[in-house]
Amino acid sequence: MRMYIFTDGTTIQTIEDINTDAMGYFSVANSSRTANNFGGGIINILDYKNTSKNKSVLARTGRAQQASGTTGILMSAGQWASTSAVDTITFGMFAGEGNFVTNTTFALYGIKTA
């Protein structure tokens, strides 16, 4: 399940998608957007190792100006209806959204090994 609230400074969009395995929507710049515009964000996966409860994700992401002249800010939440520990994270684009732009980076923080 996932839901999000998105604004471009003029309008607000919301969406809820109950029938999905994906944990959230995230707004990032990609190769189909205006050149040299980037985005960033923070994604929290709560209790990723806990095997007695479903996993939740909260995200605050955004991207700089795109071809239509808008800047986007996205707040999203999702839940993975599984008590399995999260051991894989995959990032990808929706069909037709292009690819991650050159020099895109991801950083992983807060992993406890003990």
Give the chain's end-to-end CA distance (angstroms, integer).
Answer: 30
C-alpha–C-alpha distance, residues 43 and 65, integer Å:
21
Structural domain harbouring 44: 2-80
Average pLDDT of the chain is 76
In a domain, 114, yes or no: no
Q: Is the pLDDT of residue 74 over 90?
A: no
CA 38-100-90 angle, to 5 degrees, is: 120
In a domain, 43, yes or no: yes
Q: Could you tell me the pTM of the whole model?
A: 0.70
Tell me what pLDDT residue 32 has.
64
In a domain, 112, yes or no: no
In a domain, 71, yes or no: yes
Query: How many domains in the chain?
Result: 1
In a domain, 104, yes or no: no
pLDDT: which is higher, 75 or 63: 75
Tell me what pLDDT residue 31 has.
65
Q: How confident is the model at residue 50 (pLDDT cuts 50, 70, 90)?
A: very high
pLDDT: which is higher, 110 or 71: 110
Count of C-beta atoms within a 10 Å radius of residue 106: 8
